[in-house]
Amino acid sequence: QTKSCVNLLSVLPLRFSLRGYGVCMATLFLFCFGSLFYQLNGGPPKILLDIRQYLEYMCAFLSSQVLPFPSQVIYNRVGKCGSRTVVILLRLLAEKHQFNLVSSDIHNKTRLTKHEQVDLMKNISSIPQPFLYTRHVHFLNFTRFKIEQPVYINIIRDPINRFLSNYFFRRFGDWRGEQNHLIRTPGMKDDERYLDINVCILENYPECSNPRVFYIIPYFCGQHPQCREPGVWALERAKQNVLENYLLVGILEELEDVLLLLERLLPHYFTGVLNIYKSPDYRKMGNMTGTVRKQTPTLEALQVLYHRMRYEYEFYNFVRDQFHLTKKKIGLKSVSKPPAYSNDFLRQLALRTPEPLDEDEELETDLEDANSWLVHP
> Is the preceding peptide bond at 128 cis, omega within 30 degrees of 0?
no
Please state whether 204 falls in left (phi above 0), alpha (psi between -120 and 50) or beta: left
> How many residues are given for the chain?
377
User: Can you tell me whether residue 96 is helix, strand or coil?
Assistant: helix
Q: Do 238 and 217 touch, CB atoms closer than 8 A?
A: yes
- Sequence-distant (6+) residues with CB within 8 A of 373 are 224, 225
DSSP string, 356-375: PTT---PPPTTSPPTTTSSP
CB atoms within 10 A of CB 66: 13
DSSP string, 316-339: HHHHHHHHHHHHHHHT---PPPPP
User: Can you tell me whether residue 173 is helix, strand or coil?
Assistant: coil
Helix/strand/coil percentages in the chain, nearest 5: 60, 5, 35
- Sheet with 72-75: list strands edge to edge: 100-103, 131-134, 72-75, 151-156, 246-251
Rounded CA-CA distance 301/198 in Å is: 6
Rounded CA-CA distance 120/185 in Å is: 27
Q: Is 136 a catalytic residue?
A: yes
Classify residue 194 by its DSSP letter. Answer: T
**Which is the catalytic residue, given 97, 107, 115, 136?**
136
Catalytic site positions? 136
